[in-house]
A and B are shown apart, each in its own frame.
Chain A
Amino acid sequence: MQKVSKLTIFIFLLPALLIFSLYMVAPIPLSAFYSFFRWKGFGERVFVGLNNWIELIGDGIFHKALFNNFKLVFLSLFGQLPIALGLAILLAKKTKTTDILKTIYFVPLLMSSVAVATLWSNIYDPNFGLLNMFLQTIGFENLFIDYLGNPKLALYSVIVAINWRYIPFYMILFLAAIKNIPDELYEASRVDGASKWENFRYITLPLLRPTIINASVLSLVGSLKFFDIVYVLTGGGPNNASELMATYMYKNAFNSLRMGYGSTIALALFIIAFTFSIIFMKVTKKGAK
């Protein structure tokens, strides 16, 4: 192979390294640094030691947000993945119909979060929204539900919208994995007289295991750092009922101009998301052996 000088290597790597380090890596120590200050984002930075961290540990809203994040993790894992797997199995046999269905099922994934949230806020509107209109049409006229305004319901309503948007992603992931399973396996088991369910249980599911684990990690990490659909749909409300770590961080930093405390929440979010994805990957890897 040709000799390449160190300088040449450096020149090739430089643009990517520079932009990546500046905007993705340097902010981590910087956020850690800011978390020791009281600061509006401009003007004087007042050193407050560990006060922000002490506040965070006792902050009921942060606890609530963290708990909501875990609810989101749980309901995404057990809402998105099974439905996505079901749809993928439905579409596994390639025909004209399944091709068209696949094309249509995919579309919500192309919408921006703002568009998804705007659409769903009109589906959920208590007076004119599609859902309550549907209830009215089928005869439940008095059952006008305030999906986003009721603190008991808000988080779950938002999660339904989130699932609607992300199910197509996992569906396509599973579909690709199912298509990679060699037909011979199914043919052999058919010769042995296996039923459809046995095929699924003993061929499809075991072979999909790596994809399911991969999808779970993505869903877990995505749910822990989730922000935009919630922010646009409820803003974390009513009364922090649908607050997540990321929305709480954003509101502290950019609405209340508490940049120091915002940085503390951001760092906590980073540490929590990082730790959980490492634990999850360790556990699933062990299970695979």
Chain B
Amino acid sequence: MSKTAKIIVILLAGIWLLITLYPFIFMLQTSMKTNMEYFTTSVWAFPENISLDNYLTAMNSGFIRFYLNSLFVTITSLVIIIISASMAAYMIAKIDFKLSNSVFSFFLAGMMIPIHITLIPVYRMTQTMGLYDKLTGLIGPYVAFSLPISIFILTGFIAEIPRELEEAAYIDGANIFQIFTKIIFPLIKPAVSTVAIYNLVLLWNEFIYALVLISNPDKWNLTLGLWNFQGQYGTNVPMVMTGVMLSVLPLLLFYIFLQEKVIKGMTAGAVKG
């Protein structure tokens, strides 16, 4: 590469690095300032004191509960998604039945459905079922919109498992439930982890169903909580930035530890409907 070309490449990489990274530096340093300090000193300045006061205040004004609520909904949904999707995927991938292809297409078509068309009916159904303003009310829609992509990924993976393994188990007298739990499920762990990570990030950050199905502050998840928090603290920019930091931190830590897996999981959803 010529020298000028090299300089241009480094320059572009640097500019994008700044565009990506600086907002995070801004959030971090602002979150440690007092409101007074933010409005009287330069926005570029480092905080006068490294203080976690804003974080303590935010945690005490709801973030602990938002975390717990999000954790509950996300984990419960994930468990149901993984079990129901892998059961369905096993049938579609391995068992010959007349409607196998139709069932598969039926689920895949779900990727083309914008969730907005479900909002009003789901809102009504949730009320009728007595699940409005309950965290459990979020689980149904969360599982439903995660199923198409999860079934797609798992079916592809299960189809690759050699038939001999199941046949050997069948000859040894195992029934289909045992084959599924003892042979298939342990073998599809890599695909399950992809599905789990993809849906974890999606559900942890989900906003619109929570907005429609939850109004009680005790039941706010992280996104709904942050949305109300920034409304409440409006002009207290350091406090608002603290809220944003708190909402990003869990996934950021998760990402730092499982980087490659997270990157792989997040792009696994990139299939056309």
Q: Which residues of A contact B (CB under 8 A)?
A: 1-2, 4, 6, 8-9, 12-13, 15-17, 19-20, 22-28, 30-31, 34, 41, 86-87, 90, 101, 103-115, 118-119, 121-123, 128, 130, 133, 137, 164, 168-169, 172-173, 176, 196, 214-215, 217-218, 221, 224-225, 227-228, 232, 246, 249-250, 253-254, 259, 262-263, 266-267, 269-270, 273-274, 277, 281
CA distance A14 to B55 in the complex (A): 45
Is A250's CB under 8 angstroms from B270's CB? no
Is B223's CB under 8 angstroms from A20's CB? no
Say which residue of B44, B96, B255 sits within 8 Å of A137 (CB atoms). Answer: B44
Apart from A128-B39, A259-B120, list 10 A-B contacts with CB within 8 A.
Answer: A1-B95, A15-B88, A24-B145, A25-B113, A27-B118, A90-B12, A107-B20, A115-B223, A254-B123, A277-B273
Chain A contacts for B120, CB-based, 8 A? 27, 30-31, 34, 41, 253, 259, 262-263, 266
Say which residue of A2, A101, A110, A228 sits within 8 Å of B255 (CB atoms). Answer: A110
Majority secondary structure of chain B interface residues (helix, strand, loop or mixed):
helix
Total count of chain B residues near the partner, CB < 8 A: 93
CA distance A130 to B25 in the complex (A): 12
CA distance A102 to B203 in the complex (A): 24
Is A269's CB under 8 angstroms from B20's CB? no
Q: Least Cβ distance of B248 to chain A in Å?
A: 5
Query: Can you report 26 A-B residue pairs in the complex whose CB atoms are below 8 A from each other?
Result: A4-B176, A6-B97, A12-B88, A15-B88, A16-B107, A20-B147, A23-B125, A23-B145, A24-B144, A27-B117, A28-B113, A41-B120, A106-B263, A110-B255, A112-B207, A112-B223, A112-B226, A118-B227, A121-B230, A122-B241, A133-B44, A196-B1, A225-B114, A225-B116, A246-B116, A273-B114
Is B122's CB under 8 angstroms from A23's CB? yes
Say which residue of A2, A20, A110, A227 sits within 8 Å of B176 (CB atoms). Answer: A2
State whether the Cβ of B244 lies closer than 8 Å to any Cβ in chain A. yes
Say which residue of A9, A20, A114, A133 sits within 8 Å of B227 (CB atoms). Answer: A114
Is A122's CB under 8 angstroms from B12's CB? no
CA distance A1 to B26 in the complex (A): 61
Q: Which segment of B57-65, B79-87, B186-194 sits at the interface? A: B79-87
Is B91's CB under 8 angstroms from A12's CB? yes
Q: Least Cβ distance of B70 to chain A in Å?
A: 10
A109-B266 CB under 8 A given contacts A4-B176, A24-B110: yes
Is A13's CB under 8 angstroms from B88's CB? yes
Q: Which residues of B contact A (CB under 8 A)?
A: 1, 5, 9, 12-13, 16-17, 19-21, 23-24, 26-27, 38-39, 42-44, 80, 83-85, 87-88, 90-91, 95-97, 103, 107, 110, 112-125, 140-141, 143-145, 147-148, 151, 163, 166-167, 170, 176, 180, 201, 204-205, 207-208, 211-212, 222-224, 226-227, 230, 237, 240-241, 243-244, 247-248, 251-252, 255, 259, 262-263, 266-267, 270-273
Chain A contacts for B20, CB-based, 8 A? 104-105, 107-108, 164, 168
CA distance A274 to B51 in the complex (A): 51
Is B110's CB under 8 angstroms from A118's CB? no
A172-B266 CB under 8 A given contacts A31-B121, A105-B16, A262-B120: yes
Identify the 10 closest CB pairs spanning chains A and B, nearest first.
Answer: A23-B144, A112-B205, A27-B121, A225-B114, A15-B84, A16-B88, A27-B118, A30-B121, A16-B84, A266-B117
Q: Least Cβ distance of A250 to chain B in Å?
A: 7
Chain A residue nearest in CB terms to B144: A23
Say which residue of B1, B170, B211, B267 sits within 8 Å of A173 (CB atoms). Answer: B267
Q: Least Cβ distance of B107 to chain A in Å?
A: 6
Is B208's CB under 8 angstroms from A228's CB? yes
Chain A contacts for B143, CB-based, 8 A? 19, 23
Chain A residue nearest in CB terms to B270: A173
Is A41's CB under 8 angstroms from B123's CB? yes
Is B243's CB under 8 angstroms from A28's CB? no
Is A101's CB under 8 angstroms from B13's CB? yes
CA distance A214 to B240 in the complex (A): 37
CA distance A108 to B13 in the complex (A): 16
CA distance A213 to B182 in the complex (A): 40
Say which residue of A2, A16, A106 sits within 8 Å of B147 (CB atoms). Answer: A16
CA distance A233 to B208 in the complex (A): 14
Chain A contacts for B39, CB-based, 8 A? 128
